[in-house]
Amino acid sequence: MKNVTIKDVAKAANVSYSTVSRALSGSPEISADTRERILQLCKEMNYTANTVARAMVMKSTKLLGLILTDVNNPFMSELAYHIDRQARARGYNIILCNSSRNPDQERELFELMIGRQVDGVMLFPSGPESYETLRPYLDRIPTVFIGENLREVPESYVSVGNYRGAYIGVEYLHSLGHRDILYFGRRRGSTTHQLRAEGYAAACRDLGLVPQYCNNTFPLTSIKYGYQLAKQLFTQKPAYTAIFAATDTNALGIMQAAEERGIRIPEDISLLGFDNIRDSGLPRIDLTTIEQPKKMMASMAVDSLLDKIQSELAGYVHRILTPALIERSSCGPCPKRY
């Protein structure tokens, strides 16, 4: 399994190994003749440049760390896919790690990334406190936060306009005739949730609606918790004709609870999600939702990070992408009475 090195090629070509290096790097300080000869030889000998050795002297591994809470989450796996593509297009590869939403692991992973000399890291923070716990590392390695909106924080991030997304969601439901819209699943301690809830509240105010909430008291957001919350909610008589779920996962939980209870969507109540995870487009689910432009987020995250790496500037950039409404079949006109 011993690989061919630059020296082996040099010996075979009867030149010094720096000449080989020049041929490979496309340096102009070499005759076209020898270059051709050497390149040819490299092919024949099956030479593959040792990226690790190069990284040592170049002080750049062309490796980017991607720390997600869980690739298995459909939102993040989509992000991961596009991040890989975009990074590769720019000559970088990805080291993927899952923090499992564990702040300790998150810290360990940063340590690990630094040891691995990655050129930068993209982080899907496990919570709003990640910024604090990772503070010591942030000026040791270029970092871009992604997904979770870290408001007022002097670090680069890319995120969707959560406030705006919630706002247009309410506008949409209002345009369908709904006047009593329940906001479902707001979770304390998540900046993203706060922003969405604020957007909802603002839209209600502007449209003259009375905000109603069903808050998520669980420590995180998942279909299961959404289901449990909704099950409880549905024991009470509804004072709303539409539910705006804080996330698609919440919406999926609501769907399940509604089905069990014989509540029809959208005939009895309209249901609007947020995120547009892959699941939401599945047959039988077909959830109307606010889209996070994941491909664009991935692009922006990689670009921001590479900018940061290349410019060595100490500054930061917040990129907020525009959310869009995806109309499917879970929202309908407001029923006459309930």
User: How many of the other CB atoms lie within 10 Å of CB of 296?
Assistant: 15
The reply on whether position 8 binds a second copy by CB under 8 A is no
The reply on whether position 113 binds DNA by CB under 7 A is no
61 or 241: CB nearest a second copy:
61
| Residue partners of 124: CB distance under 8 A and separation at least 6 | 67, 68, 69, 76, 79, 145, 146, 147, 148
Distance in Å, CB of 64 to DNA, minimum = 20
Nearest to 311 by CA among 119, 63, 73, 42: 119
Angle at 205 between CA 204 and CA 208, to 5 degrees: 80
The reply on whether position 41 binds DNA by CB under 7 A is no
32 or 52: CB nearest a second copy:
52
Record the tokens describing residue 265, joined without a space: 């969507």
The reply on whether position 55 binds a second copy by CB under 8 A is yes
Whole-number Å distance between alpha carbons of 196 and 183: 10
Could you say which of 111, 132, 171, 206 contacts a second copy (CB under 8 A)? 111
191 or 304: CB nearest a second copy:
304
Whole-number Å distance between alpha carbons of 279 and 43: 46
Cis peptide before 74 (omega within 30 of 0): no
Options 31-39, 172-180, 206-214, 324-332: segment touching DNA (CB under 7 A): 31-39
The reply on whether position 17 binds DNA by CB under 7 A is yes
Secondary structure of residue 126 in the 3-state scheme = coil
The reply on whether position 329 binds DNA by CB under 7 A is no
Task: Evaluate whether 261 touches 238 at the Cβ level (below 8 Å).
Answer: no
- Going residue by residue from 52 to 91, which x/- string records binding to DNA, judged by CB under 7 A? -xx-xxxx--------------------------------
Distance in Å, CB of 24 to DNA, minimum = 6
According to CB under 8 A, which residues from 227 to 266 bind a second copy? 227, 252-253, 255-256, 259
Whole-number Å distance between alpha carbons of 168 and 172: 6
Query: Would you give the distance in Å from CA 16 to the centre of its chain?
Result: 47
Whole-number Å distance between alpha carbons of 328 and 207: 24
Whole-number Å distance between alpha carbons of 150 and 147: 9
- Going residue by residue from 178 to 217, which x/- string records binding to a second copy, judged by CB under 8 A? ----------------------------------------
Could you say which of 14, 28, 32, 72 contacts a second copy (CB under 8 A)? 72
Amino acid at 186: R
What does the binding site for a second copy look like in residue numbers (CB under 8 A)? 1, 3, 46, 48-53, 55-56, 61, 63, 66, 70-72, 74, 77-78, 80-81, 84-85, 88, 93-98, 100, 111-112, 114-117, 136, 139-142, 223, 227, 252-253, 255-256, 259, 278-279, 282-285, 312
